[in-house]
Amino acid sequence: MATNRTFTMLKPDSVEKGYIGAILEKINATGFRIVAMKMTQMTVADAKEFYAIHSERPFFGELVEYMTRGPIIAAVLEKENAVEDFRALIGATNPAEAAEGTIRKMYAASMGENAVHGSDSDENAAIESAFHFSGREMF
Ligand code: DAT
Ligand code: MG
């Protein structure tokens, strides 16, 4: 995986509230190219594996329940400096602390339901993209 890619999920709350069009528009307008995308629903086993790093945290059960309660949009995005620039676009984990104009500030309800995921490193971007997409599904 090239280091100019990142992985995102528009989480179940974004799909439920009809925000996916607006969020994808913002992603495009910021200069990211969508190189893979699908609607899918994570199983409990998927969510536990994807968020394994948080398995000892007190919010883990809620996180797994939230991430599996409905479909998500999974996508791989390409842009120079993709990981860092996408983290800047989505804003802080807690939407109350997210900067004006960020996706979480605009569309997230709370820390627990924060609308969107963005990989935190090139290494995790590659792992997370491969979790959801085969090589043939990335263009
Ligand atoms: P991020 O999604 O900004 O990378 P993270 O990796 O620390 O944040 O946590 C993953 C998700 O877990 C996050 O998007 C929402 C949830 N989460 C994190 N900290 C939380 C907390 N203190 N209370 C409830 N949910 C939390
Ligand atoms: Mg994270």
- Sequence-distant (≥ 6) Cβ neighbours of residue 82 within 8 angstroms: 3, 4, 5, 6, 32, 125
How large is the C-alpha radius of gyration of the chain? 14
Is any atom of ligand 1 closer than 6 Å to the C-beta of 59? yes
Give the tens place of pLDDT for each residue, 44-91. 999 999 999 999 999 999 999 999 999 999 999 999 999 999 999 999
Instruction: Pick the ligand that lies closest to the CA of residue 60.
Output: 1
Would you call 117 a catalytic residue per the annotation? yes
Give the tens place of pLDDT for each residue, 104-136. 999 999 999 999 999 999 999 999 999 999 999
Domain 5-137 class, CATH top level:
alpha beta
What residue type is assigned to position 84 of the chain? E
What's the pTM? 0.97
Ligand 2 center to 53 CA (angstroms): 9
136 is in an annotated binding site: no
Q: What is the ipTM of this complex?
A: 0.98
Choosing from 5, 26, 48, 117, the catalytic residue is 117
Q: What is the domain partition of the chain in residue ranges?
A: 5-137
